[in-house]
Structure 1
C-alpha cells in the first residue's frame, strides 16, 4: 500500500515544481488520484476539498514566484481550523461547526504556496477513542493516536505533508506506527497552536508529518524563515544520551534491536554515547504529565462533559479523573515540570539529543485501541522538540520508529542528527 520513495517526498515535489517539470495542478490532481485509490482501505480523510484545492492550484500555475512551498498539497488534522470548513474534532458535539478563519499555521502554509487538500481523521477531541483510519502497512493494525489520519495520509503517499498535534503521544506514535517522519514542535515555540481545538494548554504542541526527516527540515525552515533552508551540516562527533524506555513499559525486542543498531551506527560515524540515570527521572515525569493533562482537559472540555452520553467511555473517564484532581496536586505537577525542564535543558547543553524508541513496538493489531503514548509523555511534559525517525522494520515488515529529543533552541541540529540516522538506515 505505501508508495513512499525518493520521487514522492516533499523535497522532490518542491524541486520538480520549481524546475517547471510539474505544476501545482499536477500535484493536486495526483494527490486526489492517490486519495481515491487508497482511501477505501486507509480511511484517513474526513473531507476533501475537491473544488477549492484544484482552484487554488490553477491560480498558482501562473505564479512561478508563488512561495517556497508552491503547489504542495497538505492534509490538516480535524482539530485545526481551515476557513469555510468544519472543525469537528472526531465528535458529534462539533458536527458542522465551520471555522471562520484559518489557524495561523494553515494561513502561513497558504502564504508559502501550499494548498490544503482537506481534513484528516482525528480521535475524539485528540484523545484515545479511535477513528476509522487503518494502518497503510497492514489495515488490521492501528495507525496510532489522534494524528492517525495525517500520518496515514502521508504513509499512503497521498500528500507529502500533513499537520497534526501532540498532547501525550498523538503525533510521535502515529509517525512510528505508519513509518513516516514526525516533528513535535517545542511548546511555546515559533509554531503556535492558535486555531487548534486544545486538550491541555500546558502540553499541546504543533506536529508535522512528512515522508522523510529532510522534508521536515524543509517545511520547518520555510515556516520559520519564509524560505527553504540551505544544505544540511552533518553532525560532527555528536553526544547522544541513549534511552531504552524499559523503566516505563515493556519494549519489544525488535524495537530494542533497532535502537541498538542505530546507536552502533551513530558511534561508527563518530558519535559519543552518554549514560543517564533515566529510571530516576522519567517515571515521575509521566505521573506529572498525566496529572496536568487530566486536570486541564476537564476544564477545556467542561461544556462537552455536560453531555456524557455523547462522549466515549475513554474521554468520560479522563474528564472525571481530571475533575477529581486537587488544585494543589496540579500546581505541584507544574512545579515539578518546571524544575525537571531546567534540569533537562542543562543536560542538553552537554548532550546533543536523547535517542530512544518512539513507541513500545510496532503498531498493535486491532482497531479498537491506539497503542500506548507513555514513551512520549516525559518529553511532552517538558515541552521539548521530538523528532520521529523512520526506517527500521520488525520481522513482519511493520515500521519501527525511533525518536530524538533535543534542545528547543537547536532544532536544526536535531534535524541534522535525524537525517544522518535516516541516511544510515537507507544505506
Structure 2
C-alpha cells in the first residue's frame, strides 16, 4: 500500500464542475482512503456524516484541525484536559467561510497538544519512522496520503510550513488577521494565523479564490530575495543545496534573484517571537496554566516561562517586531517574495518531537503570508520544502508567484 499519494484538488474540482463525480462520491472516496490508510497513519480524531454543501469548490472533502470548532464534534485540542469536551454548537468563523466556498468538512484531524510541541499519534506517510511535524500534523498527513485534497491548519510558530515540508505537500499560511479566529483555540493572539494544506501550490491557487473571491493569477517572473538563514546556523547541507539550486533555476527562468542581506534583522525577529508567544500563551491559556502538572512537559514549560516573562520584556520584543515590520515593508516595495528554507532539513527520525520551527518564527512574528513549495527531495528521497514569503495581505500575488516557481522547479530532486 502506497501511503504517499496526494489527491489533486484541481482535478477534483474540474470533475465536480463537469459532472464526472459528485460530492457524495468524493466523500466516499475520501472515507475509503481513510479506511485503507489511517490505521497506519492516525491522522484523524473523529469523522462526521456527509453534509451536502454548495459553493465554488462544489463539494470538496475537507479536514479540520482539532483546535478549530466544527459543529457537532468536541474540540479536544489534542489534550487529555479536553477528553470529555462537549460538542461545539457552531462552526468556527473560518470554517463557516470554507463551507460557503463549497468545502465539506469530513471530520477532525490530529493536533499536538494545544497546537504546541508534544506530538500526537500521527505518522509521516512520506518517511516512515520520521516525524510528520507539528502542530498541524493530522492535516498535513491527510493531504499527503490522499485522504482529502484540502485540510485546515493553524500556525503560531511553524505549525503549517514545517509539516508541509516534512510530508511533501504545499501549504499557505495566511496573513495575520486575514480572517477572524473566533471558534479557534489559540495560543498567542498576535501570532496565531490560519493555514491550509493541498497537494501543490496550483491547488492552493484554486482554493484561495474560492474562499476569498480574489483570483490568484500567475504574474511575471518575480523579484526574489533569497534568505539563507545563515545567521541562525541550523540549515542542513541538503536544504542549503536545494535552496541554491532553486534560486539558480528561478534566475535562469527570468526571475530577478538577489540575496537577502539583513540576516541580523531576521535573527532579532526570530529571538523576539518566542518571548511574545510565551507571554501571550500564559495569559490566553490561564486555565491550563493552573493545572500545568497535567499538561505535556513542553506546553507546561511554555506557559510557565510566559508567566515569568515581564511586561517590559514583552514590550521590548513587540517593539523589535514593529521595527522589523516597517523595514520589511520597505523591502517589499522593491521585491515580490522572499525565498528560503521551510525547515532546517528533512523530517528528523523518531516520533518523540516535531522538529524545529525556528525558520518560521521571524516571518510569523511579522504576520506575513507564506507558501510552502513541495517537490524537492534529498539524496535519500526525503521531502524538502522551500518557503515563499509575501507582503502582508498579498496572498493572491504570492500564490501567483508560487505557481510560477512551482512550474519552473517541478520534478527536481537534489
- Do structure 1's residue 216 and structure 2's residue 216 form an aligned pair? no
Q: Could you tell me how far apart the structure 1 residues matched to 2:233 and 2:84 are? A: 40
Q: Where does structure 1 lack aligned partners over 5 or more consecutive residues? A: 61-65
Aligned match of 1:316:
300
* TM-superposed deviation, 1:193: 1.8
Find the partner of 1:117 among 97, 106, 125: 106
Q: Could you tell me how far apart the structure 2 residues matched to 1:223 and 1:73 are? A: 14
Contact map agreement 2:228 2:260 (CA 8 A) in 1: no
Aligned match of 2:322:
338
Contact map agreement 2:226 2:340 (CA 8 A) in 1: yes
Contact map agreement 2:191 2:367 (CA 8 A) in 1: yes
Q: Could you tell me how far apart the structure 2 residues matched to 1:138 and 1:363 are? A: 8
Q: Could you tell me how far apart the structure 2 residues matched to 1:9 and 1:352 are? A: 27
Question: 1:137-195: per-residue Cα shift (whole Å, max 9, x none)?
Answer: 12200000100110000000000000000000000000000000010000012x22221
Aligned match of 2:118:
129
Contact map agreement 2:272 2:317 (CA 8 A) in 1: yes
* TM-superposed deviation, 1:111: 1.9
Q: Could you tell me how far apart the structure 1 residues matched to 2:299 and 2:393 are? A: 34
* TM-superposed deviation, 1:426: 2.3
Contact map agreement 1:87 1:96 (CA 8 A) in 2: no
Higher alpha-carbon deviation: 279-288 or 196-205: 279-288
Aligned match of 1:233:
218
Aligned match of 2:12:
13
- Do structure 1's residue 410 and structure 2's residue 394 form an aligned pair? yes
CA RMSD for the aligned pairs? 1.4
Q: Could you tell me how far apart the structure 1 residues matched to 2:223 and 2:362 are? A: 20
SS in 2 for 1:274: strand
Q: Where does structure 2 lack aligned partners over 5 or more consecutive residues? A: none
Could you state the TM-score of these two structures normalised by the residue count of structure 1? 0.93
Q: Could you tell me how far apart the structure 2 residues matched to 1:377 and 1:221 are? A: 27
- Do structure 1's residue 395 and structure 2's residue 379 form an aligned pair? yes
Contact map agreement 1:4 1:211 (CA 8 A) in 2: no
SS in 2 for 1:419: helix
Contact map agreement 1:41 1:139 (CA 8 A) in 2: no
* TM-superposed deviation, 1:116: 0.5
Aligned match of 2:146:
157
- Do structure 1's residue 197 and structure 2's residue 185 form an aligned pair? yes
Q: For 1:270-419, list aligned pairs within 5 A.
A: 270-419=254-403
Paired residues in the alignment total 409
- Do structure 1's residue 90 and structure 2's residue 78 form an aligned pair? yes
Contact map agreement 1:235 1:413 (CA 8 A) in 2: no
Contact map agreement 2:188 2:284 (CA 8 A) in 1: yes
Q: Could you tell me how far apart the structure 2 residues matched to 1:188 and 1:338 are? A: 15
